[in-house]
Amino acid sequence: MDQTQFLDWLAFRVGPVQIGHTVLGTWLLMALLTGVAWAVTRHLSVANPSRWQAALEGTVLAMRGAIESAAPDHARQLLPFIGTLWLFIGAANLLGLVPGLSSPTGDLSLTAALALLVYGAVHWYGIRIDGPRAYLRHYLDPNPVLLPFHLLGEVTRTLALAIRLFGNMMSLEMAALLVLLVAGFLAPVPLLMLHIVEALVQAYIFGTLALVYVAGALQSQQVGRQVQDDQDNPKKD
């Protein structure tokens, strides 16, 4: 069976919009993650935590620790978004291992949507935490002449974020297919392990880059405010 044959069979059209295997795979993944989250969290207990609860708490603490290393003052605000990116992209990358399905992240439309979410999150967190005036001011630092370069950097890094994940996942699936064509099923286990490791690594890298972008915007604003405070209140010798 072709890898996308099952979801292509379920594809449908709503007016001019085609709902293809990428959208259907994304919906399937969202429903699966929602069901797992509900099943794991519906019987939380402080006195007698289950093994699933312990695993969940360990995962959340690990993600929070990684976020604190980049944005120690904003880990609580960033955890829902960055943690969701890690979990969703990791699961999406692994979805291609299921017979009859393909990884949604192997489609540029999904990776572009994720990159646009990161782009919007950078501005949303910056405005929410520091206010619109303080946030927009950092585009004029250290000189207003650099404003076009700041804007160009925002666009190019968003494009790079989308293309990077798409290219890596597409090349990973193509490499796995070529190895299977050449070696047959003589080495399926090492190939499967390689796919799992690479899928998780790509999810971690994407989420980490998103974290760096958000943290970088917040830190640049903090530096800008500190410089402004020093100018407004110079220290006397």
| Gyration radius of the chain over CA positions | 22
Residue 3's pLDDT is 44
The distance of Cα 20 from the centroid of its chain, to the nearest Å, equals 22
Collect all residues with Cβ–Cβ distance below 8 Å to 62 and sequence separation of at least 6.
Answer: none
Residue 1's pLDDT is 40
14 bridge partner residues:
17
Residue 4's pLDDT is 47
Residue 211's pLDDT is 92
Percent of the chain that is helix, strand, coil (3-state, to 5)? 80, 5, 15
| Secondary element (H or E) of residue 127 | helix 108-130
What pLDDT tens digit does each residue of the chain (237 aa) get?
A: 444 456 667 777 777 777 778 888 899 899 999 998 888 888 888 888 888 888 888 999 999 999 998 888 888 889 999 999 999 999 999 887 777 778 889 889 999 999 999 999 988 888 887 778 777 777 777 777 878 887 888 889 899 999 999 988 888 777 767 766 666 555 566 777 878 888 899 999 999 999 998 888 777 655 545 544 444 455 544
Nearest residue to 105 via CA among 42, 188, 171? 171
Q: Are 97 and 192 in contact (CB under 8 A)?
A: yes
The one-character DSSP state at 184 is T
Residue 116's pLDDT is 94
